[in-house]
Each structure stands twice: as C-alpha cells, then as structure tokens.
Structure 1
Amino acid sequence: MASRRPTRSDAPLTIQHPDEPATGNGGGLVRLRLAVQYDGTDFHGWARQPALRTVQQELERGLATVLRTDVDLTVAGRTDAGVHATGQVVHCDVPRAVWEDQQEKLLRRLRGVLPPDVAVPRVEEAHPDFDARFGALARHYVYRLTDAPAGPSPLRRADTVAWPRRLDASAMDLAAGLLLGQNDFAAYCKRREGATTIRTLLRLTVARQHEDDGSHTVRIDASADAFCHSMVRSLVGGLVAVGEGRRPLDWPGSLLVRTERASDVPVAPAHGLTLVAVDYPPDAELAARTQVTRARRGD
C-alpha cells in the first residue's frame, strides 16, 4: 500500500486539468523530470480513464510501487489512443528523502515493474519551476506512411501506416508550407470546451525517405508550440488528400478560415504518429514561460 504524500500547504493554488494535477513545490518535496517512451498500440492514450489501460496509470502505478508513495504525473502532451512516444516528458513531486534513497537504483527498479511497452530511460532532479506541460516551448511529432505495395517492414508495422495509393510527397510538402505560422486550426481540431484552437505551427515538412530494407516511407515532421486534440493526424489527413491528387495544393491552407472542425478533413490512423521530442527554455526562464502559456491557453 502506497503511503500518503506530504501535504503542500505552501503550494500556490492552480486550476488544472484533472488528469494533470497541479504540483507546487515546497513541503520537503523535490521535482523530478522523467523521459518516457511507449508503444501506444495497446493503450487508450495517455490520460487516466476508468477501466481502460493508459500510459499514465501504468507509469504512476510503477512509480508508486518503487517509491512507496503516491505519484501524480504532469505530462508534456496527452497523446491519443494508439499514438507512440520516444520523447515524452513528465514531471512529478516526491519527498526528497525518497528521491535520495532511490536515485541510483530507480531506473533499474522501474524496468522491473513497468510493462514492456513503457520505458523510462532517464530521471533527473528538475528546477522547482519546471512544468512539463506549461513550460514547453515546442512539441515535435513524426508521422510515418508507406505506399510500398508490400506495406511496412514487420519491424515498423506498429508505427508506420500502410497506404493503399501512391502519394506525391513533393506536392504534400508544398501544401504543408502554406499552413505554417500562428493560425486558428479549428478546422483541424476536435474542440475542447473553453480551449483555444490558435496554435503556432513551427514546422510541417513532408519527405520521401528510403529505408534500410529498400522500402519507401513518406515521413511528415510537425512541430508547434502545442497541438490541439487530433490536430497532427488531421493535418496529415489533409496533406494526404493532396498527395493522392484529390485536392489542390492550396486546399489545406484554405481551411484555416473555418471556425469549426472541417468534416471533409480525414483523420489519419493513430499508429503512424510518434511524439519524438519536447523543447524547454533555460531554468531561469521556466517560471515566465509557464505563466505566459497558462495565460494564453486555458485548456
């Protein structure tokens, strides 16, 4: 049975999404930053859900078992069901005495209790102002498709979508460039109540690459300050329509004038998407970044 965590009577009161509890520092706690990887195939996404298997539940259970204290995780990006991660970032607060006792053996012990589709390759003490979610400057995703007749390699079948029609990657890349910058991406998002759909798309590129096994993969790289629900997969769906020749180059960009989800934009399959990295500012700028992000996005 996990022990009760110390109280944080000196922590500031913050309104936060229920699956990402506010974690103020103080009260003898230390803030930890965890690098997390997972194969999303058998998960119903990141966030806790009753009676469903999620990454958050598995990771919190594993940490509680090893640390013998309850753990609440705050994540950089709440990935959907079936989406993978090689560069996910989370933070949590634990008693300093527990951290000092477990620091040297924590990774090895976690490996022993976590399921094989979740891994924690790195844990480190973070600055007290570090916030995995609101402190992030950018999230980076990769989406993989193959239009090869044989489909993806057996070793890449979990993260690469087999596409039945030939794709023009050059046309997709040209269309992608018209979506860059700060825009209202309502046409590409599943709206959450009270949440903004304005995002700054920093990078969206499409390129065909040759794999070691001789096959061809169409790789889409997407980076933004943040992504709203299903945004990356919807952007991929719009670009694929161009790549198949069903839509003109300017069609994905023309949808940015819409204020509601565009029903004619298909949502690409989840398993082709992987969160590969999250960027953060230097420690001295963490508090300011978190404050700005909270003020701009109430989601």
Structure 2
Amino acid sequence: MPRYRIDIEYDGGAYAGWQRQADQHSVQAAIEQAIHGFCGEAVTIRGAGRTDAGVHARGQVAHFDLEREWQADRVMAAINAHLTSAGETVSVVAAQAVDAEFDARFSATARHYLYRILNRRAPPALERGQVWHVARKLDPDAMHAAAQALVGKHDFTTFRSVQCQSKSPVKTLDVLDVTRHGDVVEIRASARSFLHNQVRSMVGTLKRVGEGAWTAGDVSAALEAADRSACGPVAPPDGLFLMRVDY
C-alpha cells in the first residue's frame, strides 16, 4: 500500500483547526474530501501538528496511504484541483512517495513556529487575520531577554491549556527568539513538540513584558509556579504559523 507525504500551507481563519471534528470544518477534513474526490478512496490523514482554530501553516506535513499507486505530482495536482473547486484556503505545495515507516507526527524531530505581532497604532488592512495587532509600543529586547528563562527543559504547566491531552507537561524548548522588523515583532519558537496553546501562552506573557507590565523575573516566577493561573493572557490565533517540521 503506497504511502504519500504532503507539505501543506493554509490560512486557518475559516477552520476549526487541523483536526477533524463533528459538525465543524477542519483542514484535515478538507484534504480528506479532496483526496476522496480525485481517487474515490476514503482515507484518514495524519498531520505533524494539530493547529488550533484560526492558526495558519506554511509548512504543515501529513501522510496517508492509498490502495493504488499514483505519481506524486499527480497526487499534488489532483488534491489542489479539488481544494480549489471547493473554495478551500488550503494548498498542497509538495508531495512525495515515502516508505511505510514514515509518520508525519511521530517521525518529526522538530517543529518550528512563528508568531507575528503588528506593533503600530494603525490596524492592519492587508494582513488582517494574519497578525496580532498591538497598538502600544513593545520592547522586543526586553521580551527576548525574558524569553530565555523559558528555553530548556521545564514543566510548562503554566503555559499549557487545561484541555491539553499530553501525558506530561515537561517539554524541552530549544529556541524562543524575539526580534523586530519594522512594525512587526516576530517570536520564533522551536522544539521537538509543544503542549496545547503553549506558544500562544508564551507570546501573551512576553507581550506583558514588552509593554512594561511584567519583568523577566515575573516570567521566571510564572514558569516556576507550574500553575495555569500564573500565565499571562493567551495571544489570539491570528498571528501564529506552523512554519516547518524537521525529520
């Protein structure tokens, strides 16, 4: 049974997240319907990351098995044709045949996220739904310095959704960098895996530092508390992108 890997980008604004859900539109379901449309097979695809409602991707990865063997380029073109005709904001940007041991989720060695904050008084016109608009001036250097307290292996209970299904709150965060590029503050996070809402929770907390309401010490204390109530406000999904998955 041939297995295929697809690399995907999507605007998550119209979806209830990656994962298929009853009575709600999801990215997973949109792609599965497109696959069925071109080959008639009902498949379940596995994604590298279960992005939340409203979260975007430029480098999501998924795999699925088909009964019949197809050329990878044909798979990509056919899925995209059905996605386009259905009006989905999803695109398969690459496809390839892989061996049966490849698993988009469990074979991954790192996931890389980008969060974008539009930091200016004027609201976005061209990037609405693609950034978090924060009008108050932020200090990216203070945010970056505070972020380093979160890098490494920690109990991230404070930055974990109460709905998180992970067996352990302990994760190793490899990178958490904050930089400014004109009016945009970018927060880049890399790790083998993340907890539910972890990136958005960290971003919301670092925003408090950037506006002067919290110090780096407050971030360290919040982490050490291992208490969800110690977290800053959770950033909205608009500015979050799954950028790349490593294997």
Runs of 5+ in structure 2 lacking a partner?
none
Matched, 1:234 2:201: yes
Aligned length: 243
Matched, 1:269 2:228: no
1:289 alignment counterpart:
none
Structure 2 Cα separation of the partners of residues 112 and 120 of structure 1: 10
Structure 1 Cα separation of the partners of residues 232 and 122 of structure 2: 27
Where does structure 1 differ by over 6 angstroms across 4 or more consecutive aligned residues?
none
Matched, 1:201 2:173: yes
- Asked whether the equivalents of residues 143 and 178 of structure 2 are also in contact (C-alpha less than 8 Å), the reply is yes
| Structure 1 position 258, deviation (Å) | 2.7
Matched, 1:190 2:157: no
- Asked whether the equivalents of residues 54 and 237 of structure 2 are also in contact (C-alpha less than 8 Å), the reply is yes
| Structure 1 position 170, deviation (Å) | 0.6
The alignment yields a C-alpha RMSD, in angstroms, of: 1.4
Q: Percent identity?
A: 38
Q: Alignment partner for residue 99 of structure 1, among 69, 93, 109?
A: 69
1:164 alignment counterpart:
135
- Asked whether the equivalents of residues 73 and 95 of structure 2 are also in contact (C-alpha less than 8 Å), the reply is no
2:28 alignment counterpart:
56
Q: TM-score, length-normalised on structure 1? A: 0.78
Distance change (3 Å), C-alpha of 1:247 and 1:103: closer
- What do residues 216-250 of structure 1 show as CA deviations (whole Å, max 9, x unaligned)? 10011011111110000000011001001001112
Structure 2 Cα separation of the partners of residues 69 and 131 of structure 1: 20
- Asked whether the equivalents of residues 188 and 262 of structure 1 are also in contact (C-alpha less than 8 Å), the reply is no
Q: TM-score, length-normalised on structure 2? A: 0.94
- What do residues 160-179 of structure 1 show as CA deviations (whole Å, max 9, x unaligned)? 11102110111000001111
- Asked whether the equivalents of residues 74 and 92 of structure 1 are also in contact (C-alpha less than 8 Å), the reply is yes
Partner letter of residue 33 of structure 2?
A: R
Distance change (3 Å), C-alpha of 1:107 and 1:264: closer
Partner letter of residue 111 of structure 1?
A: N
1:174 alignment counterpart:
145
Q: Alignment partner for residue 51 of structure 2, among 74, 79, 82?
A: 79
- What do residues 79-106 of structure 1 show as CA deviations (whole Å, max 9, x unaligned)? 00000000000111112xx223x54422
2:80 alignment counterpart:
111
Secondary structure of 2:69 counterpart: helix
- Asked whether the equivalents of residues 9 and 60 of structure 2 are also in contact (C-alpha less than 8 Å), the reply is yes
Distance change (3 Å), C-alpha of 1:179 and 1:103: closer
- What do residues 50-81 of structure 1 show as CA deviations (whole Å, max 9, x unaligned)? 11111011110101111211111111100000
| Structure 1 position 263, deviation (Å) | 4.9
Q: Alignment partner for residue 46 of structure 1, among 18, 30, 39?
A: 18
1:122 alignment counterpart:
94
Structure 2 Cα separation of the partners of residues 105 and 30 of structure 1: 14
Runs of 5+ in structure 1 lacking a partner?
1-28, 211-215, 281-299
Q: Alignment partner for residue 217 of structure 1, among 181, 184, 187?
A: 184
Structure of greater Rg: 1
- Asked whether the equivalents of residues 8 and 93 of structure 2 are also in contact (C-alpha less than 8 Å), the reply is yes
